[in-house]
Structure 1
C-alpha cells in the first residue's frame, strides 16, 4: 500500500475543564485506593522488564471499557467527567475506557510529556507500549488517533506535587494546579497537551527511591503508613500523607453516532504492516536507513531508531 507522507493537519487541543468536586463520594474513592494495596511499580504494571520506576506505583480500575477492580463501577461511570468531556471535546458520545490510580513517593519533577495515545487498531495490545509515544510525537498517525478525554483527580496536601500543563502549546505560558488537593480534577486533551508532575516531597528525599527494583511493592499498613518493600525487604516506612495520590480517568470522545460506528466497524484501523510502512517511509525521507522489524518487541535496533528519532519538541523558554 502506498502511504502519503504529507504533513497531517494540526490537532486543535480541546480546552481543559477544571472540576471541583470531581467525585460525589471522595471518601469512597480514597477507601478504594487503600483497598488496592499492595501496589506494583509502574514498570511492573506495564511489563517493562529491566526498567525502573523510582517511587511511582500504579493499579488499574478499568481497561478496555471494562471495570476490572471490584467497587470501581460508580467512579468509572462518573457523570461529571462525561459531561465535561462532552463540553470540552464537542462530542455527543463519551465512552469511558480506562481508569487507574497513581501513587508517588518523593521524586524529582518529571519532564513534560504527552500521555500514551490511542490509535484505531494499534493500542498497547497490538504494539509495545514504548512505541505509542513515538507514534504520537511523529504526527504520522494523527488520521488514526482516537480523541480521548483525560481527567486527573488528586488527593494530596503534602509538599510539592504540582500539575503543570500547556493548554495553548509549549510556546505559550503554562498553567499550574497545586496542593492542597482534595477531590479536584482537570479534564483535558492529555494525548496532545503537554503536561508534567512537579517534584514531590522534600528535596532531600527526592532521590531516595531512584533505584527501587522492577518488582518493588508499596503496601499500606494497618496503622495507615506506607511500607516500601524491595526484594522482600522493608526499605522504608513513611507517613500516609507522604504519598501523592491521584486517579486518572480516560474516555473516548466521538462527535456523533457516525464517528462511533466508524470506530466500531474497524474499517479504518492501522495494522502492524501499515505502521512499519509509514515509519520506514518517513525515516527514508529523513535519510535514516532502517530495516522493517519482524517483531516490534524484540528488534532492539528498531526500538533505538524510533525512540531517538521521534521525541517531544523542545520548549522555548523566554
Structure 2
C-alpha cells in the first residue's frame, strides 16, 4: 500500500441514517419491477471473470493462497433500474431522476451539482456471507465502469495515485429486511485497519447516506442458519420469481433452492456523480483533463518500481493475469476485524 497522509479508504464523512426514505407508492413500484422482470444474475456474474479480478476489491490480507472465485459465491442477485443517465423501467423514471435521491446525495459532499449515475438492487435469500469487506468502484475523469474493468478501478482507488482525477460520488443505500435473524451491514468508516461499525437488522425502508467508493463494507449473513447452504450454486445460477410469491434459484431449468418473501433481504442502491462547481462539471463533460489507460498503467508501474519492486510492463495489461495478480498483491488491503455478532464466514 502506498504511504499517504490520508488513507485512501476513509470516506469524506461518516455515514448517516434516514428512516422511511421512499414513499409507499415508490416502494410498490420498485418491488413490482423486481418481481415482474428477471430472472436476475448473481452479482459476481455481472462483474468478474476470474479470482484476481474479484480480489482487487475484496479479500486481501487473510485470504487463502489458493482462493478461487467459487469460494466467494453466495446467493446475492443484482438487477439495474437505471444506469448512466438511462432509466430501464419507465415506471421508475421519477425515482431515478427525482430530486430526493440527488439532493440527499449532494448533501454528503456539499456539492452544488450532480447527476444520477446508477440505481440497482441486490436480492438475497438466507445466506452465509463470505465477503471479507469490499468497496464500490470509484469513477475518474475519462475512466469509469463504462470503459474500465472493476478490478482496475479498484486498484486505482487503493493506490491513492489518481485522487486529482476522481469524480466525487455518494450513495443512498436503502434496506428492506423485516427480520432480526442476522442480516445487518458492517462498515469500516475509519479505514480497513480499524474496528468496524454495524447497522443491525431489522430495517425497512431505512436509507444509509454514504461514500462507499471510499469505505469498506459488507453484507452480513442473513436468514435461518439451516437454510444458508446452496449445493449446486455457481456463477451461472439465476433467481426467478414464482407465481406463489416465492423465489426460485435455478441452474438452467433445474431448481436448486426456493425461499419466500419473508426471508428476502433487499438493498436498493443509488449512486450520484457530484461536482463542486461549473468548472468541475465542464472539466468532466468536456474531457479536458481525462485519464487514459496508458497513463494509469504507466503511473502504477512507476509507483511499484519507486518502492523497490520489480515489475515487467505487459503487452496487454488489461488481460495479463500475472500482471493483474501482481497489482492486486502490491496494493492489497482488507479488513481483518469483524463484529462478534457478525463474524466472517469462511467456506471450508
TM beyond 0.5 = yes
CA distance in 1, matches of 2:29, 2:337: 42
CA distance in 2, matches of 1:86, 1:308: 34
Residues 205-233 of structure 1, C-alpha deviations (whole Å, 9 max, x = no match): 33326x52222110010010101101431
Number of the residue aligned with 2:58: none
C-alpha deviation, 1:313, in angstroms: 4.6
1:100 aligns to 2:120 (yes or no): yes
Number of the residue aligned with 2:34: 33
Contact kept in structure 1, 2:191 and 2:215, CA below 8 Å: yes
1:1-12 correspondence runs (5 A): 7=4
Contact kept in structure 2, 1:13 and 1:167, CA below 8 Å: no
Residues 158-194 of structure 1, C-alpha deviations (whole Å, 9 max, x = no match): 3221012233444665432222222111011111122
Bigger Cα displacement from structure 2, 265-274 vs 198-207: 198-207
1:66 aligns to 2:80 (yes or no): no
Bigger Cα displacement from structure 2, 121-130 vs 99-108: 121-130
C-alpha deviation, 1:64, in angstroms: 1.4
**Structure 2: where are the runs of 5+ without partners?**
52-68, 340-348
CA distance in 2, matches of 1:141, 1:80: 30
Bigger Cα displacement from structure 2, 121-130 vs 255-264: 121-130
1:74-223 correspondence runs (5 A): 74-109=94-129, 110-158=131-179, 159-170=181-192, 174-208=196-230, 212-223=233-244
Question: Could you say if the C-alpha distance between residues 207 and 288 of structure 1 is closer, same or farther in structure 2, counting changes exceeding 3 Å?
Answer: farther
Number of the residue aligned with 2:16: 17
Q: Pick from 239, 256, 261: which aligns with 1:240? A: 261
Contact kept in structure 2, 1:111 and 1:196, CA below 8 Å: yes
Give aligned pairs, total. Answer: 313
Question: Could you say if the C-alpha distance between residues 231 and 31 of structure 1 is closer, same or farther in structure 2, counting changes exceeding 3 Å?
Answer: closer
Question: Could you say if the C-alpha distance between residues 213 and 94 of structure 1 is closer, same or farther in structure 2, counting changes exceeding 3 Å?
Answer: same
CA distance in 2, matches of 1:285, 1:7: 15
Q: CA RMSD in A?
A: 2.5
Using the size of structure 2 for normalisation, the TM-score is 0.82
Question: Could you say if the C-alpha distance between residues 69 and 296 of structure 1 is closer, same or farther in structure 2, counting changes exceeding 3 Å?
Answer: farther
Residues 23-65 of structure 1, C-alpha deviations (whole Å, 9 max, x = no match): 1222222222212331111133236368453211111111112
Secondary structure in 1 matching 2:108: helix
